[in-house]
Chain A
């Protein structure tokens, strides 16, 4: 690559000064155009890409008008094209401002005055082209060509530097929200825009007025190269617009085409052999370069994805950890209640009033037994929840008669129900319905539903129904009890949920959560219905007769 650059420079130096500048201007113009084109093609719908492309187009236009104005001799053409150059520069200023608003993300502080900006820019451009306020005339004194400016000149200066200034302010204002990569990109692009803008303004706007000659004007296009170089660097090294790979591929292809062209055009055999060797070398290294750039991009994307996944996983772990700690703390607290009761009755038992009454002692003993059972239930539930959360709850599915299971649970609940004077009944059309289930676990879930129904019903009935639905079996527990609000229904199956208004303590708050997990493990569904508080409830369990995991 280095060899090519040296050869190019030597050939360019062979040309005279004027032509050299013009040729370089053309190269800068073409490169600017290609740069804008690549960016546009990378994302045709992206507003930033579109604005950047228009900015480059205006720049190319400006370079073109300056070139024409330099190449031609007659006053009319020169005047016209220099005025066109001013117009193009007006739009350059506007689009620099627009670009600074959009890149890398639109400013949040205000909405871009698109319409107002376009109108203002068009007015100023029109002033430049169609009136003589800006550029009054081309003067010729002592063989030195110079511009004669009007009052519009100062308006244009204010406008141009104003736009540039606001553009810089936009960029600087966004720094806080930008990540490292975007900051680097901004710095490069901003420097390019400002340096090129200020240099071009100096060579084409300020110096011609101060020195009273336009001779510096032809250097204008060259100043754009600063912007091109810095932008290209940002594209290749800092993922600007993410077109790095495309640009590398195109640059290397261009280089190959160029050498190929020279090969075909060269007259000497020695030259041709040199060119051929050069072609082979550059194809080899070019291909390696493209491959390595591609690999780098893919690596970076992979790392980004992994970093993201890691963050998500971490958040999940943290919230699980928090949940576990809260569970532990609440669970431990709940155990204190039955313990308090046991200790309390035990201390009562030491009082002679009770010691001397076998009747009272019996009652105390029963209370202690009851609370001990409650503690046992609490601890079993806690262990069940831990097992569920660690995925260690095991199920052994066997053919189970759902009707028999329901009827045995109803039998067990009869004495509790009759103490509250409730009607408790089982309804089933079929004498038996076989499903694949873990009998012990399913029993636990259904028992919880029936116990809840009896507990929360003070008068009326509790009805347990078992239905057959071809591939499914349904089990319903309906009661005429306290019912639940819509709010409660939403949280019913969550851990430790207790509806503040209708809940009775004494439960573990975990029964429904465990029941739901058991039903889920059976590949079934469970849900609750209620017409409202005080209007009873209905719990439905839907279980498939066969499912994967069953024998």
Chain B
């Protein structure tokens, strides 16, 4: 089987309000060849989702969402993402420091979504999990 190289850049949507965290993981994502689009709060993320629904625009193939955002919960954004036909099976990682069994349960019910704690996952580990979810080597 020949390796087909996708010529379009792989876009990753990173919704996170702490700029230091964005900067840290961006280094790892970009080193792996991802183009990182970031949103600093819930409203920003929802606006971006609307933009992606426009015809002929490049869309993210994977999304990393924080849960505790200043305006709304990342879980609400997750619901919006899955409601959208374009993203109903896009890999989503709920990436947070907020540990909750209730949320773990909720996410377990959603297909192709994972729940990871920031303190437990280094940038390199996150990248390899993303690759796994995208079926990449």
Bound together: yes
Chain A interface (Cβ < 8 Å from any Cβ of B): 333, 336-341, 343-345, 347-348, 351, 353, 367, 370-371, 374, 498-501, 503-506
Task: Decide: B24 and A344 in contact? CB cutoff 8 A.
Answer: yes
Please tell me if the beta carbons of A344 and B43 are within 8 angstroms of each other in the complex. Answer: no
A338, A344, A371, A501: the one within 8 Å of B123 (CB): A344
State the Cβ distance, A303 to closest chain B Cβ, in Å.
45
Bound-complex Cα distance A374 to B21 (A): 13
Contact (A340, B19) CB under 8 Å given A353-B31, A500-B41: no
Interface size on B, residues (CB 8 A): 24
For B30, what are the chain A residues with a Cβ–Cβ distance below 8 Å? none
Total A-B pairs, Cβ < 8 A: 64
Tell me which residues across on chain A come within 8 A of B24, comparing CB atoms.
340-341, 344-345, 348, 367
> Which A-chain residue is minimally distant from B72 (CB atoms)?
A500
B84 proximal to A (CB < 8 A): no
**In the assembled complex, how far is the CB of residue A333 from the closest CB belonging to chain B, in whole angstroms?**
6
Question: Which residues from chain B contact A348 at a C-beta distance below 8 Å?
Answer: 24, 27-28, 122-124
**CB atoms of B19 and A506 under 8 A apart:** yes
The reply to whether B97 and A340 form a contact with Cβ atoms under 8 Å apart is yes
Q: Is the CB of B71 within 8 A of A501?
A: yes
- Which chain B residue has the least Cβ–Cβ distance from A360? B27
Contact assessment for A344 and B122 in the assembled complex, using a CB-CB cutoff below 8 Å: yes
- Given A333-B97, A351-B124, also A505-B17 (CB < 8 A): yes
* Residue among A333, A338, A340 having the largest count of chain B Cβ atoms under 10 Å: A340
27 A/B residue pairs, CB under 8 Å, sorted by A = A333-B97, A333-B98, A336-B97, A336-B118, A337-B97, A338-B20, A339-B119, A340-B21, A341-B24, A343-B119, A344-B24, A344-B25, A347-B122, A347-B123, A348-B27, A348-B28, A348-B122, A348-B123, A367-B23, A370-B20, A499-B70, A501-B43, A503-B70, A504-B19, A505-B18, A506-B19, A506-B20
Convert B8-39 into 0s and 1s, putting 1 for each residue whose CB lies closer than 8 angstroms to a CB of A: 00000000011111011101100100000000
By a CB distance below 8 angstroms, the chain B residues around A339 are 119
Contact of A337 among B21, B23, B70, B122 (CB under 8 A): B21
Measured between beta carbons, the chain B residues less than 8 angstroms from A344 are 21, 24-25, 122-123
**B75 contacts the other chain (CB 8 A):** no
Closest to A346 in B: B122
Q: How far is the CB of B22 from chain A (nearest CB, A)?
A: 10
B68 interface residue, CB < 8 Å from A? Answer: yes
Chain A contacts of B28 at CB under 8 A? 348
